[in-house]
Amino acid sequence: MAVQESAIGQTLERVKIKERKQASLWADALYRLLRNRAAVMGGLIAMGLILVAIFAPWIAPRDYATQILTDNNRMPSWLLNLFPSSKGYVQISEGYLLGADYVGRDLFSRIIYGTRVSLSVAFMGPLIALLVGTVYGTISGFFSGRVDNLMMRFVDIMYAFPTLLLIILLMAVFRSTTQATVPGTLRYTLTSIDARVGGMFFIYIGIGITAWMGMARLARGQILSLREKEFIEAARTIGAGNVRIMVRHILPNILGPLIVAETLAIPTYISYEAFLSFIGLGVNPPTPSWGSMIADGAMSLRSYPNQAIFPALALALTMFAFNFLGDGLRDAFDPRLRGTGK
């Protein structure tokens, strides 16, 4: 009897599950994401940052590059109350919300504009990775066999490039050189592009060269597990071609994990840029980058702590936001991974 009962119970439960409304993968993920408070916070902050970056000229009260030398190192009085040790030598000027830097540039405006630099790297990295890596990995995984073998060995080789060293090497070879002024050379072309994007070009290139491999491996792995599935077989039997299967049937199914992986990688890219700018290899002055602002501020940390603390706060906040958002997305797309860490 007992055995029978339990058997019946099981059947009933199975029926219940079948009856439950089948939510789509995406709607389900969104539902789970919205229930994760930290992720929502992170998402909101990330969105806010994007808006700040886009509307920087309207938000920033001053130009980021304009120096008013006579206003060097000023602070508003509220800030001075926060750092009372600076009293006695700091000149007070209420016109600067977070103070002015060593050549009299508004710190607040520079932090606002710095968002652009950080976010452009934050999105450029994943973009290149998604575009190149996904296509590469999909092709490799889908065709398998010798193609797969060759393509993946190439990835293995590329994996040997350490991103930061590669970027520093690129900078050393192409930038910081006096030959930048001879038109017609490769170096000239590259450095003039670099100058036009505020010194970010080699960071993009370096990340572009090294960031897609992880993505390619992930995509390939996903596809290997998908390609033997029944729905692919079904598509094939009704005569769908390779490209159609890849684009219509496989890609949508692997995109979730890929996006999660890239969101989680965003803080890494941001830290690359901040690190490079901190050691003076990033953006060209006067383009503001949080990294270079922290480096400048660190020089005057003992006298004007505000100059290092606020850009550092901005950087920390951004990293947290994207980390929480990434974590939330991972949990949302694949609840089985919850709490396992990546």
Partner 1 sequence: MSNRKSKLVFGLVVLATITSVVLAGCGPTPVPTPTAGPTPTPKVITQVVTPTPAPITGKLFLNLGPGDVPTIDPALSTDTSSVQIVEETTVGLTRQHEETTATEPGIATEWKQSADGLKWTFKLRNDVTWVKYNTATGKVEQVLDKDKKPRVVTAKDFEYGVKRTLNPKTASDYAYVLNFFIKGGEAFNTADTKKLSEAELKKLEDAVGVKALDDFTIEFTTIEPTGFLPMVAGMWVAHAQPSWLIAEKGDRWTEAGFFQGYGPYTLKEWVHESSITIIANPFWPGTANIPKPKINEVTWYMLDDTPAMANYETGKQDAASVPLADIDRVKADPKLSKELKIAPILCTYYYGFNTKKKPMDNPKVRLAFSMAVDRVSLIKNVTKGDQEPAQWFSRPGLAGAPTLKDYPDLGVKFNAAKAKALLAEAGYPDGKGLPEITLMYNTHEGHKKIAEAIQQMWKTNLGVEVKVANQEWKVYLKTLQTDSPQIWRLGWCQDYPDANNFDKEVFRTDGHEYKATNWSNKKFDDLVDQAGRETDLKKRTELYAQAEKILVADDAAMIPIYWYTRVTLTKPYVKRTFSVLGGLEHIEKWEVAPH
The single residue among 144, 176, 189, 225 that binds partner 1, judged by CB under 8 A, is 176
Strand partners, 92: 75
- To partner 1, the closest distance from the beta carbon of 91 in angstroms equals 9
The single residue among 83, 102, 123, 154 that binds partner 1, judged by CB under 8 A, is 102
Q: In the window 303-322, what residues touch partner 1 (CB under 8 A)?
A: 303-304
Q: Which of 208, 199, 194 is nearest to 282 (CA)?
A: 199
- To partner 1, the closest distance from the beta carbon of 68 in angstroms equals 9
The single residue among 5, 12, 16, 89 that binds partner 1, judged by CB under 8 A, is 89
Neighbours of 11 (CB within 10 A): 10
Q: What is the largest CA-CA distance in the chain?
A: 92
Q: Which of 230, 228, 220 is nearest to 251 (CA)?
A: 220
The alpha carbon dihedral of 84, 86, 92, 95 has a sign of negative
58 lies in the site for partner 1, by CB under 8 A: no
Burial (Cβ within 10 Å: 0-12, 13-18, ≥19) of residue 303: middle
Contact 201/190 with Cβ under 8 angstroms?
yes
- To partner 1, the closest distance from the beta carbon of 199 in angstroms equals 9
- To partner 1, the closest distance from the beta carbon of 295 in angstroms equals 9
Would you say 268 or 303 has its CB closer to partner 1? 303
Measure Cα distances from 222 to 77, 87, 218, 225 in Å: 57, 60, 6, 5
The single residue among 175, 217, 249, 330 that binds partner 1, judged by CB under 8 A, is 175
221 lies in the site for partner 1, by CB under 8 A: no
Contact 98/107 with Cβ under 8 angstroms?
yes
Neighbours of 139 (CB within 10 A): 18
Stretch that binds partner 1, among 34-42, 99-107, 153-161, 229-237 (CB under 8 A): 99-107
181 lies in the site for partner 1, by CB under 8 A: yes
Would you say 86 or 323 has its CB closer to partner 1? 86
Neighbours of 153 (CB within 10 A): 10
Q: In the window 182-201, what residues touch partner 1 (CB under 8 A)?
A: 183, 192, 195
Site string for partner 1, 68-87 (x = CB under 8 A): -xx-xx------------x-
- To partner 1, the closest distance from the beta carbon of 162 in angstroms equals 22
3-state secondary structure of 75: strand
DSSP secondary structure, 118-155, as one string: HHHHHHHHHHHIIIIIHHHHHHHHHH-HHHHHHHHHHH
The single residue among 5, 24, 58, 88 that binds partner 1, judged by CB under 8 A, is 88
Stretch that binds partner 1, among 27-35, 36-44, 62-70, 114-122 (CB under 8 A): 62-70
How far apart are alpha carbons 321 and 42 in whole angstroms? Answer: 4
- To partner 1, the closest distance from the beta carbon of 331 in angstroms equals 43
Site string for partner 1, 271-310 (x = CB under 8 A): ---------x---xxx-----------xxxxxxx------
Residue numbers of the site for partner 1 (CB under 8 A)?
Answer: 65-67, 69-70, 72-73, 86, 88-90, 102-104, 175-181, 183, 192, 195, 280, 284-286, 298-304
